[in-house]
Amino acid sequence: MFVTELLGGRYELRGIIGRGGMAEVHEGWDTHTGQIVAIKLLYPGFDTHPDYLRRFWAEAQSASVLHHPNIVTVYGSGEHRGAPFIVMERLPGRSLAEMIAHGPVAPDYVRKMLSDVLAALSTAHAAGILHRDIKPANILFTADGTAQVADFGLAKGPDTHRTDTGQIMGTMAYMSPERLAGRVATVADDLYAVGVVGYEALTGRRAFPEENLVALANAITSNPPIPVSILRPDIDPQLSAIVDRAMTREEPARFASAAVMWAELADVGGDPVTGPIPVFRPPPVAPVAERPVLLMPPPEFRQRRTGRLLLVVGLLVALVVGAIAFVLGAASQRTPSEPTRVITNVAPASVGGGT
């Protein structure tokens, strides 16, 4: 009888449920508790790279000290035959990235999701821990629709080792202009990423869709995206303004802390949201600015214009004929004995006064 080797002598590995830049996540079975869990494992070969190992253990350490309803719970970590692993809470819901793939998310649920994420970050920041990789794939949902922040693999705390000089860690599409310029990560960078995530959830499109890294960096630093209020005029203007403010390029104009941004969201109208998060698909709208521009007027317009032109010409001709008739009539009244001559054609030789 074939017996499957247990990870760490305790966990039974099952299928892969997610992949990241340096690790993959398996569903697992805790044989001690009878509980379904999620187990993160470094890719083969990565477990011998010092920087990846530091980041992996940093996640285990950071997440293990953060206990909050909006942060994925880490049960423990260990090594199996030299390979490190992290055991986490297994959430039954989808990630925000999977939801956005189906279109914009309902605004009320986006507001709730952002509030949950900010509550998690407020706790993490208070503990001196930055996430540094907030993005839709790292926001997961429980069965009741509560958002939880996962993957503190790039988290930075007081005891975190620094990466190599000039190395920028994270997902570029969600980085602030300051991070791209090489500045050390701060609270402001996490909040900027929250704004970009909110933009993507509300609009169903990435704020910076460029695939080329040079073009993407240029867009983040020089070309702000179209404001949410223009793409989604149907949602609460206050919610749009909060998202736009969080991701503005001018850092002083952003929110000072997760708690401040969280408080602003609390003032946005809407009933309390409960239950699974549905996918929201707004009705198709053809904005005036996006309608095709006609280089030539349509046929019906040209027909109307031609008709008006003919009418004007006809009136002018009638006026000229009437004037001629009036002059000729007046002349006939002054010299009735002189026959009236009407010139109907003029020979070319007479034009110019020839003999």
CATH of domain 10-90: 3.30.200.20
Higher pLDDT, 80 or 217: 217
Q: Catalytic pick from 30, 108, 133, 244?
A: 133
40 is in an annotated binding site: yes
- Can you tell me the distance from the alpha carbon of 149 to that of 140, in angstroms, rounded to the nearest whole number? 6
Tell me which residue of 20, 231, 205 sits closest to 102, measured CA to CA.
205
Q: Would you give the distance in Å from CA 261 to the centre of its chain?
A: 19
- Can you tell me the distance from the alpha carbon of 289 to that of 232, in angstroms, rounded to the nearest whole number? 14
Q: How many other β-carbons are positioned within 10 Å of the β-carbon of residue 318?
A: 10
Assigned fold of 94-281: Transferase(Phosphotransferase); domain 1 (1.10.510)
Q: What is the mean pLDDT of residues 169-195?
A: 89
pLDDT of residue 218: 92
Higher pLDDT, 326 or 276: 326
Q: What is the mean pLDDT of residues 335-346?
A: 39
190 belongs to the catalytic site: no
Q: What percent of the chain has pLDDT over 90?
A: 41
CA-based radius of gyration for the chain:
36
Listed by start position, the domains of the chain span 10-90, 94-281
pLDDT of residue 2: 47
pLDDT digits (tens, 9 = 90+) for 43-101: 887 777 777 787 778 777 776 778 899 999 888 888 888 888 989 889 887 899 999 99
